[in-house]
Structure 1
Amino acid sequence: MPISQNQFEELAKSLPGVGTDPHSVRQRVEALEKLLERSFVIPGTKIPFGLDSVIGLVPVIGDLITAAMGAYMVWEARNLGMSKWQLMRMSANIGIDTALGAIPLVGDAFDFIWRSNSKNLRIIHKHLDKHHPGTRIIEG
């Protein structure tokens, strides 16, 4: 049974992190960044890595998949009304990550150093903290 747009919006509002409000967007991009950049730790060290590094090991396809996941963060940023300059910076971060990450071996090492999704999350946080201060989370 199909649901109407109004019913869908009401359902989305009731689920945490599914809405279109800035707080929900913040939750989604933070979760995606953690998944892509910091979801695992190299055993015996404190060096984090995520799916961006793991999926990037698959030549070409892996880099395209992680680029698409990073582009989702840019799309969320656009929906927040971020400036074209900020969106271009975020897109450039993903472009550099994708282009250099596609180089065999060197690109895989580069993925550990150039964390484009973390850089993009900082840009989004700066925007949210300035324009939507109510979304700020104080960690203690």
Structure 2
Amino acid sequence: MAKTTRMPRNAMGNMLGRDAAAVRRRVEAMEQLLERTFVIPGINRPIGLDVFLDFIPVGGTFIGAILGLYMVWEARNLKMGGSAVMRMVGNVAVDWALGLIPGIGIIPDFFFRSNSRNLKIIRKHLDRHHPATATVQHK
């Protein structure tokens, strides 16, 4: 009789699966990376990679948009409705367009957090269609 072995859990905490729980973990991690990686001392305002990418002229805004579109791609993999996906694309497009404004393109990233908005849309879908993936939010 052959001995079965268990595959070790990957280093990313089983984030590579196709199931809804793995998708939730990936989009939450992406949103945290892009919007809430660091906290500005004194004002306790979280910022992420999206703000830092705006310091790279033009190219940084495109990179930020591509990373934001990753969340949209995950939403399509979850078979989310077209209207929700289009709202997400619109959020990324607004963030991208505002980021193109020379000199002040960084300011909207403090107030219009497209990735946080998109995460909220994805969570709403997951909570409705995949309630077992719900997690307790710590604030």
Asked if Structure 1 and Structure 2 have the same fold, meaning a TM-score greater than 0.5 normalized by the shorter chain, the answer is: yes
Question: TM-score, structure 2 length as denominator?
Answer: 0.89
| Matched AA of 1:105 | G
Structure 2 CA distance for aligned equivalents of residues 137 and 113 of structure 1 = 26
Corresponding residue of 1:82: 80
Runs of 4+ in 1 over 6 A off after TM superposition: none
RMSD of aligned Cα (Å): 1.6
1:22 pairs, out of 20, 23, 29, with 20
Structure 2 CA distance for aligned equivalents of residues 64 and 139 of structure 1 = 30
CA deviations over 1:36-63 (Å, ceiling 9, x no partner):
0000011222100000001111111000
Question: TM-score, structure 1 length as denominator?
Answer: 0.88
Corresponding residue of 1:131: 129
Corresponding residue of 2:101: 103
The number of aligned residues is 130
Map residues 21-60 of structure 1 onto 2, 5 A cutoff.
Answer: 21-60=19-58
Structure 2 CA distance for aligned equivalents of residues 93 and 19 of structure 1 = 26
Cα deviation for residue 14 of structure 1 reads 4.7
In structure 2, stretches of 5+ residues that fail to align are 1-6
CA deviations over 1:101-125 (Å, ceiling 9, x no partner):
1101221111111100000000000
Structure 2 CA distance for aligned equivalents of residues 74 and 61 of structure 1 = 20
Structure 2 CA distance for aligned equivalents of residues 37 and 118 of structure 1 = 7
Higher fraction of helix: 1
2:114 is equivalent to residue 116 of structure 1: yes
